[in-house]
Amino acid sequence: MSRVDSIESIDRGRIFAQDIFVCLTLLKSVCEWVCLQVGQFPRSGRSTSSIPGDMASAPGASMTLFAFAGEGVHSQTSDLSMVRRSPSFASCAAALANLGMGMEDVLREGLGVHAAPFSVIATTVINICLCDTWKSWGYEPDAACGHSVGELGAAYASGIYTLEQTLQAAVVLGGTAAKQAGAMLHTTASLSQLAAQLAESDLALAAINLRLVCKEGPDDQAQVTLCGTEANIKAWLVKDEKASMMRPKHPWHHPSYAPLLTDVDRAALQGLAATMPAGRGKCRFVSATKAKELHAVDGEHWLAWLSQPVLFADTVDYLARASGPLGSAACTVIEIGAHPVLSAMLHSLKPSMQVSSMCRDQSSVNWMLEQRSALPTQALKAVLSKLEVAGRLISDLPFGVQGFTSVQYPLIAQALDTCFPNLKAFDLYRFQTLDALIANYGRSAMPSILSAPTLPVSMSAAVLGIGLVLPPTVTSCSELWAALLKCDNAVRKVPGRKHAGGYLDERAFSPKRDGSVLGIEAAEAAVIDPQHVLALALAARCFEDAGQEAAAEAFAKPDRCGVYLGAWQEPPQVAARTPSAYRVLGTSLSAMASRVANTYDIQGPAMTINTACSSGLVAVNAALKDMRLGVIDYALVGCVNLLTDEALSDDLARAHFLSPTGACHTFSAAADGYARSEGGVMLLLARDDGIRPCRALVCGSATNQNSRRRPMTAVDPTAQERVIRAACADGGIKPSEVAVVECHGTGTKLGDPVEVSALAATVGAGRGSECLLTAAKMVFGHLESAAGGLGLVKAVLMAQRRQVPGATVAAVNPAVAEAMSGASLRLPSAEGAELAEGAYIGVSSFGFAGNNAHVIVQVAPNGRRMPFIEAAEPALAPVAALAGATQPVRKPEPVQHKPRTDGPGNFQPQHGRRPELVWASCEEICEGISEGNKTEIPIFELGIDSLGLAELLITLESKFGEGCVSVDEVMEDPSVSAIVSLLLSKQSKSIVESPSKQSKDLEPASPLIAEGKLSMLGGVDVAEMQRSSASAEPQGVNSWVRTTHVGSLPRPSGTPSRTSSPSRLMRASIG
């Protein structure tokens, strides 16, 4: 009979810390093995080596004992998940149905009640199912024994009984035990003295559990169980301080049972007779009623079992003999029952390893897998080596390396489910090999990173301004919030586009229109990456949203402000129709942040970060770290994404990344890929002073990289867990304090469940209230490199509003629901939810190459909460006005002029077009220079910089021929009139225009040309200039060119250099 209370009183610490016991046993066994090697072994106990686990010197020499617990070990809180998952559970239910019983009725009436007959049947069902689970994992017993009712399980494990016979025996014995009520107790006593005491009482010895070796007192001390009437048991408890009441409600193994049996009862016991079938298996049945091995049982055996004490101590001694069933081999003990109670009784076996199957108030799945991880793995690997998926065996290599695709991962999970209960397809991204599954699946979650001390307010960043452009026409925070509340899908099909996407309407962003307002000249605008223009537009909107005071503070110390931008796509590489000096710089991602910094004279760090979809949050992390290091006080942080490359969309669709239904169905059963979108956001962050009103606070961030993946794009839930924990620690909080997480949530079948599983292990663990999961991609699609930035802006608006927008998912992805089960996570209702003051919001973003980022946002205190103003769409302010220039940038309306045909000073068609074309070319590069007579002013003072000069020379070469003018010649006198003179003085055939070329290159005339003001250049008649032959090269030419992009071009003294071509100038200017 199992004695729960007695064992708990002696070995309570072991029950609740089974792993500690296993480790101590392992250490002890190692010491004994070392002693054996040097010829010094303890005298007491078995004279055999106890080599732990895989350290056995002879493979396969270790013997395995299945030890079955008896009555009194289960409780109403016992988790039966592993019992229900057993390959035998359905068979047990069918067998009980044949006996006229329902499985659920048995469990409901018997579990934790400890009254016959149902408790006996429930105990037996549990033991059968756990036994067969261990067997299905490859752990076959060499011997089996059981305490009290556990003897039925041992008879089943050895093969004497079939499953149906075992349950039939449980029904018969349970019905017999129910004939009389009583009670039981556990105590420690001298066996010789106990006999005299029991002679004076109606109590009886029910079991000898463990013989003790005592330094004082009688040498026959033992832990025993007594049984009798409840009144006599209570009377004994009064006089015996060592005694404790037990749970069973019957006097199990009391001699009074024999007289109570009727002929029907005896016939039923005789019907339980069975013999070990030949060839049934290697397992040997050791009876605790007889303390020896049996090959058959009959009615007399079970009558003795009912009315005689359990000789469990003698049974263990029998097993420990060199001639016993276990021989002299190292022994592994697997205790089978609803709670570990036998380990102290089995200690004299000196097992090399001892594990149990269940533990009260613990997850049976996690407990059993945790225990299994302590055992040698050969048996389990032998089972796994026979499993097939899609017609092939699963090897030890990573699943991705074996050629399995994400589509086949559900099949792998299904095949492995028996050995790895509740395994989901997304778990295979966490455990990429069979070895990783065996070693770690189901084990305790990674311990949380200890919370760092609360950071001072100066270590957070206050959000002062937001600029945004989102599909299709969202350009303000109020419009964004309205879109989030409405939940309309911004992804759509547009004319001229092959794939559905979240495209920007021209009303929200036009590269040509916005570039003109933002100071980008026509020649540069023709070749610039529109993402550069978008970044400038976002910066302008952000500064305007922050207000003049905040912008002025940021500009006041330009070296204390930085620019951190995220972007990942360069414009598609197509053959350029015309050469341009602006193309290299204008299409370079590396120049994007520098362009913004240059425009606003920001002199702190400026960097463009490309980690694909996580670029935006990685940029935030870089800015926050620089702010904490004291490098900057302000940061302009943002990210952009434009869908300019249709071929990339084709490739993504071909690889099945894109949603055929044109939406990001985040968390939904309809998840089928993601929808690409374009747009961008920009935030102005300031080192928090604890006083300034702000939208929200950014208080923590972290980035990391996935572990080695095959393929590299495979997600890594463990890395996601690490980055979330690290960001929380960076913000001085525990993951359980996060109230909302704005998820990466791309809307893929496996990606969403993987992410939710990582959240379940972090923000969803160890908390009371539930953490809400949201995803902006449900509304706007996947903005790729700008996705994390959009998530951050949404988090900031949630913090400012103190509200979580509602969301409706018609049917949740079953894998997402499974990942959320058991964790404090949920999706917001359609009505949304409120956020408290100081609440924390997490934002996740993961790059496809494994770059992960997480940011923590905090709701600002009440006194610092910036009001949410429902303002109209902000106008795109001119750059110069925002940057504090005395005169805003003004773009004149284009002026159309008709060339005059009268007047003696007009150029002839074959010659007069040169000044006109030179002037028009200058206007292409820097508009507005046609006001006033500026023919003698150096072009650099007109706003044409070094790249503009290179562009001018390229343009002139395209019109007048290669080598028509050199950099050195222009630098000698960089005015329009001088350039015209140079062109007219050239007599080489290479610069003579053909009539077709002249008509093709006709450009609108400038006002000065149209009015005939260039008929005389510097007092020299054009015809005379045409007749002259100035073939000599200019002497002492300075070809130094400044590489800045603003202001005039200084000309310091220097030595002459050789003539520079436009390409050389372009290379020098970007050098």
Find where tokens 């220039």 sit.
885
- Spatial separation of the C-alpha atoms in residues 538 and 616, rounded to whole Å: 14
Q: pLDDT by residue (tens digit) across 384-410?
A: 999 999 888 998 888 888 888 888 999
567-603 confidence digits (pLDDT tens): 998 877 655 556 777 788 888 889 999 999 999 999 9
Q: State residue 927's pLDDT score.
A: 60
Beta bridge partners of 759: none
Which helix (H) or strand (E) segment holds residue 1068: the answer is helix 1062-1070
Q: Look at residue 935 and tell me if it is in a domain.
A: yes
Mean pLDDT of the region 979-994: 57
Are the C-beta atoms of residues 48 and 329 closer than 8 Å to each other? yes
pLDDT score of 717 more than 90: yes
CA 976, chain centre distance (Å): 61
Spatial separation of the C-alpha atoms in residues 141 and 336, rounded to whole Å: 12
Which of 72-76, 315-319, 685-689, 997-1001 is least confident? 997-1001
pLDDT exceeds cutoff 80 at 447 = no
**pLDDT over threshold 70, residue 888:** no
> What was the pLDDT predicted at 917?
67
Q: Which of 12-16, 267-271, 662-666 has the lowest mean pLDDT?
A: 12-16
Within a domain: 704: yes
Q: How many alpha carbons fall within 13 Å on the CB side of residue 313?
A: 16
Of 974, 981, 980, 950, which Cα lies nearest the Cα of 1037?
974
Which secondary-structure segment (H or E) carries 464? strand 461-469
Look at residue 561 and tell me whether its pLDDT is greater than 50. yes
Residue 883 lies in a domain: no
Question: Are the C-beta atoms of 859 and 839 separated by less than 8 Å?
Answer: yes
Q: Is the pLDDT of residue 519 over 80?
A: yes
Answer whether residue 5 shows pLDDT above 90: no
Cα–Cα distance for residue pair 547/545, rounded to 1 Å = 5
The answer to whether the bond into 472 is cis (omega within 30° of 0) is: yes
Whether 140 and 62 share a structural domain: yes
The Cα-based distances of 524 to 287, 542, 582, 645, 926 in angstroms read: 93, 24, 6, 20, 9
How far is residue 625's CA from residue 605's CA, in Å, rounded to a whole number?
A: 12
Confidence (pLDDT) at 20: 42
**Which segments within 825-909 are labelled E, that is strand?**
825-826, 833-834, 840-846, 851-858
* Cα 441–Cα 445–Cα 450 angle in degrees, nearest 5: 155
| Residue type, position 565, single letter | L
Residue 276 lies inside a defined structural domain of this protein: yes
Quote the pLDDT of residue 936: 74
Choice between 1024 and 683, residue whose per-residue pLDDT is larger = 683
Write down the pLDDT at residue 6.
39
- Mean pLDDT (whole number) for 138-154: 96
E strand spans, 155-220: 183-190, 204-211
Tell whether 332 and 399 lie within a shared domain: no
Report the 10 Å Cβ neighbour count for 977.
Answer: 20
Percentages helix, strand, coil for the chain, rounded to the nearest 5? 40, 15, 45
| Amino acid 355: pLDDT | 95
Q: Could you tell me if 993 and 959 are in contact, meaning their C-beta atoms sit under 8 angstroms apart?
A: yes
Work out the angle at residue 949's Cα, subtended by the Cα atoms of residues 945 and 954, and round it to the nearest 5 degrees: 150
CATH value at residue 348:
3.40.366.10
Judge residue 830's burial from the number of C-beta atoms within 10 Å of its C-beta, 0-12 exposed, 13-18 middle, 19 or more buried.
Answer: exposed
If asked whether residues 334 and 190 sit together in one domain, one would say no
Q: 840 versus 38: which is more confidently predicted?
A: 840
385, amino acid identity:
S
Q: What is the residue type of 833?
A: A
Per-residue confidence (pLDDT) for residue 321, from 0 to 100: 86
Other CB atoms within a 10 A radius of the CB of residue 322 amount to: 11
- Res. 50 pLDDT band, cuts 50 70 90: very low
Check which CATH number belongs to the domain holding 217 and give it.
3.30.70
Alpha-carbon separation of residue 562 from 607, 608, 609 (angstroms): 8, 11, 13
Let me know if residue 850 belongs to a domain.
yes
**Region 724-750 average pLDDT:** 95
Q: Taking the chain, what is the end-to-end CA distance rounded to the nearest angstrom?
A: 87
Q: What is the dihedral of CA 29, 32, 34, 37, to 10 degrees?
A: -130
Candidates 586, 584, 582, 596; CA nearest to 554 is 596
Supply the mean pLDDT for the chain: 81
Cβ atoms within 10 Å, residue 449? 16
Of the three residues 338, 372, 406, the one that is the final residue of a domain is 372
Q: Is residue 205 part of a domain?
A: yes
Token code pair at residue 987: 């007599």
Same domain, 576 and 684: yes
Q: Is the pLDDT of residue 501 over 60?
A: yes
17-31, 153-167, 614-628, range with the lowest pLDDT: 17-31
DSSP secondary structure string for all residues of 219-258? TTEEEEEEEE-HHHHHHHHHH-TT-EE-S-SS-TT-TTHH
911 φ, ψ (degrees, to nearest 5): -125, -35
Predicted structure pTM score: 0.71
pLDDT of 97-139, one tens digit each?
Answer: 999 999 999 999 999 988 999 999 999 999 999 999 999 999 9
pLDDT band at 16 (very low <50, low <70, confident <90, very high): very low
DSSP assigned state of 799: H
Q: How many CB atoms lie within 10 A of CB 946?
A: 22
Is residue 1041 domain-shared with residue 1026, that is, in the same domain?
yes
Q: CB-side exposure of 376: number of CA atoms within 13 Å? A: 24
Domain span at residue 434 reads 385-440
H or E element: which one contains 144? strand 143-146
* Contact present, 272 and 296 (Cβ < 8 Å): no
Q: Which tokens go with 393?
A: 């065996």
Q: What is the DSSP secondary structure assignment for residue 451, as one 8-state letter?
A: P
Give 515's Cβ-side CA count (13 Å radius): 20
Q: How many CB atoms lie within 10 A of CB 574?
A: 7
Q: Residue 1059: name the closest of 965, 983, 960 by CA.
A: 965
Contact in structure between 503 and 497 (CB atoms under 8 Å): yes
Q: Are residues 637 and 526 in the same domain?
A: yes
Give the orientation angle of helix 263-270 with respect to helix 163-177, to 10 degrees.
Answer: 160
**Residue owning tokens 């100038």:** 1065
Which residues does residue 564 pair with via DSSP β-bridges, in sequence order? 607, 637
* Adjacent-strand bridge partners of 853: 703, 845
Average pLDDT over every residue of 336-357: 92
Q: What's the confidence (pLDDT) of residue 560? A: 97
Q: What are the DSSP calls for 35-91, one per residue?
A: HHHTT---SSS-SS----GGG-SSTT--EEEEEE--TT---TT---HHHHHSTTHHH
State the pLDDT confidence band at 316, using cuts at 50, 70 and 90: very high
Q: Which of 215-219, 326-330, 378-382, 832-836 has the lowest mean pLDDT?
A: 215-219
Instruction: Please count the structural domains in the chain.
Output: 5
The conformational region for residue 390 under phi > 0 = left, psi -120 to 50 = alpha, else beta, is: left
d(CA 79, CA 75): 9
Q: Are 645 and 780 in the same domain?
A: yes
Give residue 61's pLDDT band: very low, low, confident or very high (50, 70, 90).
low
Do residue 427 and residue 464 come from a single domain? Answer: no
Strand partners, 838: none
Model confidence over 914-937: pLDDT tens digits?
Answer: 566 676 776 666 665 555 566 677
pLDDT band at 655; cut points 50, 70, 90: confident
Give which of 50, 36, 40 is closest to 347, Cα–Cα. 50
Instruction: Say whether 533 sits in a helix, a strand or coil.
Output: helix
511: domain CATH number is 3.40.47.10
Most distant pair of Cα atoms in the chain: their distance: 147
Structural domain contains residue 872: no
Shared domain for 187 and 331, answered yes or no, is: no
Task: Say how far apart CA 33 and CA 31 lie, in whole Å.
Answer: 5
Q: Do residues 714 and 571 both lie within one domain?
A: yes
Q: Are 877 and 519 in contact (CB under 8 A)?
A: no
Q: Do 682 and 694 meet the contact criterion of CB atoms below 8 Å apart?
A: no
Distance CA 886, CA 893 (A): 21
Sign for the pseudo-dihedral over CA of 49, 151, 2, 340: positive
How far from chain centre, in Å, is Cα 579?
46
What is the rounded CA–CA span in Å between residue 747 and residue 192? 74
Residue at a domain's end among 835, 864, 893 = 864
Over 50: is that where the pLDDT of 414 sits? yes
Domain's final residue, options 795, 830, 864: 864
Residue 176, C-beta contacts closer than 8 angstroms, at least 6 positions apart: 116, 257, 260, 261, 265, 268, 269, 306
Asked if residue 404 and residue 319 are part of one domain, the reply reads no
Among 144-158, 532-546, 1052-1066, the range scoring the smallest mean pLDDT is: 1052-1066
Q: Are residues 229 and 290 part of one domain?
A: no
Q: Which of 118, 116, 113 is nearest to 103 (CA)?
A: 118
- Provide mean pLDDT across the span 646-652: 90
The Cα–Cα gap between 353 and 371 comes to 10
Tell me which of 11-15, 229-233, 939-943 is least confident: 11-15
- Give per-residue pLDDT as tens, 948-976: 777 777 777 777 777 777 777 777 777 77
Does 902 map to a domain? no
- CA-to-CA distance for 1037 and 196, rounded, in angstroms? 126
